[in-house]
Chains A and B, each alone.
Chain A
Amino acid sequence: MNDPRKNTERPGLSRRAFLKGTGVSAAATALAGAPAAVAVADDKAAEAKAGAPAAFGPAPAAVSLTVNGAKMSYSVEPRVTLLDLLRNHLDVTGCKRVCDRGTCGACTVLLDGKPVYSCTTLALEASGREVKTAEALVADGRLDAVPAAFVQYDAQQCGFCTPGFVVSMRAALDKNPKATPAEIEDALAGNICRCGTYEQMRLAIAALCGQKKGE
């Protein structure tokens, strides 16, 4: 997911864009004590227009984005992550804060349809973009196939990692609706469950991949 080896292989994603996606946010976090030094290159429009990255901070800057179909905007300091914007300010709490440094996947959201760790994505990077969290995977009381499979096979216990797994799996199936169980498992390499629900998750995966109940 945020694995740099995979990111660099993706067509259309430059090393520069990758650094923007992860390195800059890490630097911003590290420098949080001296926020004046932090500048963040934002959306393509700003870069194209000025020919140079736009500077934000240390004062709060406005972020407007679409979250689960609803337009939202809020002013946050540039050091605030997308995860914290969603959870602390927009009350969208399906994405969970666990490791807070891009390891466990509990914070996974879809950013313009692609799964990202929202804990290592700055809020400002999401400006003008579309964010989807696990909350989007239910409509009119009907569960999307992925969370429905998690429920059916009991692929969750405490449930704190579950929305992250569900979003990762949804993204993998969106990318390739004919994905094999092995490919889905590969897509879940960036998610960690503490209660140990992997066996039930495998049953859910088998069902989602159109296989008979695994064993």
Chain B
Amino acid sequence: MAISWPKKPNRLIGGKHQRLDGPEKATGRAKYSFDINRPGMLHARILRCPHGHARLKSLDTSAAEKIPGFKALHVLAKPGKEFFYAGDEIAAVACDTEEHAQDAVRALKAEFEVLPHQVDEEDALKNDLKTTSANGAQPNVRPGGEAKVGDPDAAFQNPNAVVHEGIYGAATICHQCLESHGLVAEWDADGGLTVWCSTQAVPGTAGGLAQHFQIPAGKVKCITHYMGGGFGSKFGPDVQGIVAAELARKAKAPVKLMLDRAEELTVAGTRPSAYGKVKIAGTKDGKITAYEVACYGSPGVGNGATVNLNLLPYVYTDTIPNVRRKHQVIRLNTGGARAMRAPGHPQNCLLTDQPLDDLAAKLNLDPMQVRLKNLPANMPEAVKNAPQSFNALRNTIYTDEIKIAAQLSDWEKTWHPPGKGPSKGPNKHGIGMALHTWGGAAGKQNEINVTVSSDGSVLVTCSTQDLGTGERTVLAIIVAEILGLEVKDITVKIGESPYGPSSGSGGSTTCPGTSPPTLQAALAARDALLETLAPRLKAKKEDLTIEPGSVVDKGNTKKYAWKEACAKLGMDAARGTGKWNVQNQNEDELVKGGLSNNGVGGVQIAEVWVDTETGVVRCTRAIAVQDCGLIINKQGCESQVAGGVIMGVNYALFEERVMDRATGRMLNPDMEFYKLGGIADLPRVVVHMHDMPERGVIGIGEPPTISTAAAVGNAVFNAIGVRVPYAPFTPERVLEALAKGGK
């Protein structure tokens, strides 16, 4: 279907709109999964392995089953089972109250054969204890890929090359979703299952449960009306989904199972660590000639790499001619990694943009100029075949964005050579920048339905979920634009699996994947409405159009108020469906059609003050310049970007999962020692949306959190003249770097 976005100026699309569910959320009336109370509902808790590595010898459940209020038990691990991290699930109980469930879990008696564990990357590199595979069959340190481009050795040895070497990286952090993972599960008399689940994938969660219990997909309903943060960690039913539904079936009563805070930080996902030795070379005029990285990181007991190796050197992959990259994946006896807001990219950015600044310093050049000199070119092939694609525009986008960021930060006046900036007592000023990129293509499969009723009301349904992104409002804006209504006139029902297919909210795919079918559905509903109305208004269908608040008959020069016109629907309703089924994100139709696209670039600048006596870094201002194609809701977009920046500053300055070598347990599974900044700790954020409506809709959730930490790291370097290698840039690490004087 050849449809396109309305041409500018749009009445609503691209404007600033308050989120539809704002009043419900701000007054605590929005019901999250955690808030669901069902009649006769039981509470469940899970017994977990307390050791970093152990084998279950025995499990005695008899005492637990005698606890008052005990209703059901579900055993997950049999004797002999090997646990690979402290937090792994053993068994679960359901009781009438949460307190009794806690008592019952305490009364479960598990005995273990405690085995050696390893929770630190450096330890594993020095002496691999092989503690993460059954019977120690595989090493903890595993190859994570390597590649060579050009001739890096020759480039480093070139007498004209200025070479810098350094170490960089960041600790493992946790998603720290404020609504923990979990759900309420309830079976009905017909063997159907309903779950109220905190998930980023509503149909995916229903499907996962149907598969597990071997029941027809249509018999499982997942509801997620409100969702308290996921950041990539909440896909599918998860262990607690299976456990809650099993317990509910056994107890014949609804069961609530939400992780407590310690569980949330221990088992519900991490952004894996990444540490690397980087060697970078450039010519005196700032052209980078070679880049070499040997890095490692840990996904805990999870799988997969901890950086995106093929995208190193980040952003400059195509422009640095000589590259060597190598990655080692270090499996450890810690909670497993899950996708976290732009997986691999923030780590990549730290391993690229920070060495770049150090090289610039060695060359006595402004790092902004070095970046401009090394930006990837617009790809000629793409310019010809897909002029709105990122590859066709990347140089233009970055160049424009750097110019805007330079203006917003007054870079010309504010930047100074490292360590040579203004001081206030022991406090030194610093400013730094970094670049990022992200895909943000449309989710693969989404269906939207729009219904116009005879009372003039408009209902939009989709099973997709609103993680706090403002998705609900996005759908309403598009429908209101097409039907000539206001955003508040549209009723949006999302977050229920029976509303049809939708893709999980991962990879910044939701807005680009739901906006085009919403446009389709709204246009189809409009056409159906006008077709039904034409004979009843004694008009020709082609003479009927919609103007704000009314239906206009050009043939008879008549104008009907929206409700007056809709009343003619009588017993009928006007419906439209939009279906989006994209198998290949890069297929030409998508890009050429201009409905949706992928690929964005962003530029961020951070300003800090570093107290050289205490080592405390205060980030005072952050500037984010970001493109995301066609903007649907500018206010929602700006919020996403500012939030991403704040998350990035937390990553740079505060967040770190701390493991205890002795016990193999996490030492800070809480919110007092796992640090997140409060309002006084975090910078003012200036957001500039680089509007490119001709590109179509592109996702925005992930990109703005990527380059913040590297920008802060560069700002700290700019302040004190020495590199603090590892994020978070804590007082201890800052003081250590100052003491070593960059050696």
Q: In the bound complex, how far is the Cα of B26 from the Cα of A133, in angstroms?
A: 11
- List residues of chain A with CB within 8 A of the CB of B21: 159
- List residues of chain A with CB within 8 A of the CB of B29: 94, 135, 138
Type the 1/0 row for A119-137, where 1 means its CB is closer than 8 Å to any CB of B: 0000000000000011101
- List residues of chain B with CB within 8 A of the CB of A157: 468-470, 639-640, 643
Question: Which A residue sits closest to B473, measured CB to CB?
Answer: A154
Question: Which B residue sits closest to A166, measured CB to CB?
Answer: B26
- Nearest Cβ on chain A to B473's Cβ, whole angstroms: 10
> In the bound complex, do residue B671 and residue A162 qualify as a contact, i.e. CB atoms below 8 Å apart?
no
- List residues of chain B with CB within 8 A of the CB of A159: 21, 25-26, 30, 226, 228, 468
Q: In the bound complex, how far is the Cα of B19 from the Cα of A147, in angstroms?
A: 13
Q: By the criterion of a CB under 8 Å from any partner CB, how many residues of chain A are at the interface? A: 60
Name which of B27, B29, B671, B682 has the most chain A CB atoms within 10 A of its CB: B27
- List residues of chain A with CB within 8 A of the CB of B103: 32-33
- List residues of chain A with CB within 8 A of the CB of B228: 96, 158-160
Question: Which B residue sits closest to A147, measured CB to CB?
Answer: B26
Q: In the bound complex, how far is the Cα of B638 from the Cα of A94, in angstroms?
A: 26
- Nearest Cβ on chain B to A106's Cβ, whole angstroms: 6
Type the 1/0 row for A194-212, where 1 means its CB is closer than 8 Å to any CB of B: 1111111110000000000
- List residues of chain A with CB within 8 A of the CB of B643: 157, 195-197
Decide yes or no whether A80 CB sits under 8 A from chain B: yes
> In the bound complex, do residue A196 and residue B682 qualify as a contact, i.e. CB atoms below 8 Å apart?
yes
- List residues of chain A with CB within 8 A of the CB of B106: 33
> In the bound complex, do residue B685 and residue A96 qualify as a contact, i.e. CB atoms below 8 Å apart?
no
Report the stretch among B111-119, B171-179, B317-325, B717-725 that lies at the interface: B171-179
- List residues of chain B with CB within 8 A of the CB of A197: 639, 642-643, 646
Q: In the bound complex, how far is the Cα of B104 from the Cα of A32, in angstroms?
A: 12
Decide yes or no whether B660 CB sits under 8 A from chain A: no
Type the 1/0 row for B32-49, where 1 means its CB is closer than 8 Å to any CB of A: 101101000001000000
Within 8 A of A (CB), among B447-469: 467-469
> In the bound complex, do residue B261 and residue A101 qualify as a contact, i.e. CB atoms below 8 Å apart?
yes
Question: Assuming A98-B261, A154-B639, A195-B229, is B23 touching A202 (CB within 8 A)?
Answer: no
- List residues of chain B with CB within 8 A of the CB of A93: 28, 31-32, 34-35, 37
- Nearest Cβ on chain A to B663's Cβ, whole angstroms: 20
> In the bound complex, do residue A158 and residue B26 qualify as a contact, i.e. CB atoms below 8 Å apart?
no
Decide yes or no whether A67 CB sits under 8 A from chain B: no
Q: In the bound complex, how far is the Cα of B25 from the Cα of A148, in angstroms?
A: 11
> In the bound complex, do residue B684 and residue A199 qualify as a contact, i.e. CB atoms below 8 Å apart?
yes
Decide yes or no whether B678 CB sits under 8 A from chain A: yes
Q: In the bound complex, how far is the Cα of B226 from the Cα of A93, in angstroms?
A: 13
Question: Assuming A199-B646, A202-B679, is B23 touching A138 (CB within 8 A)?
Answer: yes
Q: In the bound complex, how far is the Cα of B176 from the Cα of A154, in angstroms?
A: 21
> In the bound complex, do residue A200 and residue B672 qualify as a contact, i.e. CB atoms below 8 Å apart?
no
Decide yes or no whether B22 CB sits under 8 A from chain A: yes
Decide yes or no whether B676 CB sits under 8 A from chain A: yes
- List residues of chain B with CB within 8 A of the CB of A20: none
- List residues of chain A with CB within 8 A of the CB of B99: 32, 77, 79-80
Q: In the bound complex, how far is the Cα of B145 from the Cα of A62, in angstroms?
A: 63
Q: In the bound complex, how far is the Cα of B25 from the Cα of A166, in angstroms?
A: 10
Q: In the bound complex, how far is the Cα of B369 from the Cα of A211, in angstroms?
A: 39
Q: In the bound complex, how far is the Cα of B357 from the Cα of A79, in angstroms?
A: 55
Contact of A192 among B37, B226, B678 (CB under 8 A): B678
Q: Which residues of B contact A (CB under 8 A)?
A: 18-19, 21-23, 25-32, 34-35, 37, 43, 97-99, 102-103, 106, 176-180, 226-229, 260-261, 467-470, 635-636, 638-640, 642-647, 650, 670-672, 676, 678-680, 682, 684-685, 687
List of 8 A-B pairs having minimum Cβ-Cβ separation, nearest first: A94-B28, A196-B646, A158-B468, A159-B25, A160-B228, A134-B28, A157-B468, A93-B35
Given contacts A33-B103, A147-B23, A157-B639, 17 further A-B contacts (CB under 8 A): A94-B29, A96-B35, A97-B34, A98-B179, A100-B260, A106-B178, A134-B28, A150-B26, A154-B635, A156-B25, A163-B25, A163-B26, A189-B679, A190-B678, A191-B678, A197-B639, A198-B682
Q: Which residues of A contact B (CB under 8 A)?
A: 32-33, 77, 79-80, 84, 87-88, 91, 93-101, 103-104, 106, 133-135, 137-138, 143-144, 147-148, 150-152, 154, 156-163, 166, 185-186, 188-202
